[in-house]
Amino acid sequence: MEFFQIEEPDVEKPIVIAAMQDMGNVGSIVVNFINKSLHTRKFRTAKSPFPAYVVDKGGYIDVPIEIWEYKSTEGLIIFGGGTGQPQNNQELHSLCQDVIDISKKYSAKFIYTLGGFHTNRKLDKNPKTFVTTTSKDLTKQMTQMGIDTTPQQSVITGFNGLILGFAKQNGIAGIGMYGELNEPKIPQYRAAISIIKTLEKLTYRKLGDTTSLELMAQEIEKSFEG
């Protein structure tokens, strides 16, 4: 993994929100929404030098460039989005460690990650967001706030789970937020909206008007029903 520092962000003791593409594209939808809504500024990039696949465009191939961005605004560092995740454990661990190093460099006080939570429960356009945390005490605080915690033991794979493990090992408090979804292969805008509203409740700050995401959800639902 290659890292490029573009500039030094003007942040002090920020909250870090770090998530990558996962099932339902939930991580990317939320990260991209926050970046657009808050007009964040890019200050660092991570690039995979080894492509895991090529794209056949009909008679000729293209080599994809996997790049993930760090962006910032007042009190926040946002990492991730993009169109994929690292394709091997070495790159994944390198990326997680870099997020931790950046968090420490700017004295971040908290790391949030987020993604999808596959369920068979009929959601009826109202998915819940479940959270898991880096400590029992923090989970107790979530329960006292009326926030749903993950209902059973499970394994969380990929960046959106592993970054919590890296945070815990490095003494940084963290919360994973996972929005319910039924169809992992379809962009899940309602799960993203649910996560954004939960994130606003926990961070005490407005992240933006989610009307555009609601309209995207309606379009997806119309095409799916059709």
**Residues 118-145 pLDDT 10s:** 888 887 788 999 999 999 999 999 999 9
> How many other CB atoms sit within 10 Å of the CB of residue 201?
13
Which of helix, strand or coil describes residue 34?
A: helix
The CA distance from 40 to 72, in Å, is 5
Task: Judge whether residue 116 has pLDDT over 60.
Answer: yes
Q: pLDDT per residue over 138-191, tens digit each?
A: 999 999 999 999 887 777 778 888 999 999 999 999 999 999 998 888 899 999
Q: Is-above-0.85 flag for pTM?
A: yes
Tens-place pLDDT, residues 51-90: 767 889 899 999 878 889 999 999 999 999 777 788 788 8
Give how far the C-alpha of residue 83 lies from the chain's centroid of Cα atoms, to the nearest Å: 12
Two structure tokens written together for 131: 């959270």
Average pLDDT over residues 187-199: 94
d(Cα 93, Cα 88) in Å, to the nearest integer? 9
Whether the CA torsion 25, 31, 32, 33 is positive or negative: it is positive
Residue written as token pair 């493990």 = 165
- 22-47 pLDDT, tens digit per residue, is 888 999 999 999 999 999 999 999 98
List the structure tokens of 112: 């949030």
Domains of the chain, earliest start first: 2-225 (3.40.50.10900)
Q: Is 51 helix (H, G, I), strand (E, B) or coil?
A: coil
What pLDDT was estimated at residue 3? 95
**For residues 176 and 48, what is the distance between their CA atoms, to the nearest angstrom?**
25
Look at residue 66 in the predicted model and tell me its pLDDT: 82
Residue closest to 172 by CA, chosen among 16, 26, 10: 16
Q: Is the pLDDT of residue 226 over 70?
A: no
Residue in 32, 186, 29, 173 with CA at minimum distance from that of residue 115: 29
pLDDT band at 203; cut points 50, 70, 90 = very high
| Partners of 20 in beta bridges | 81
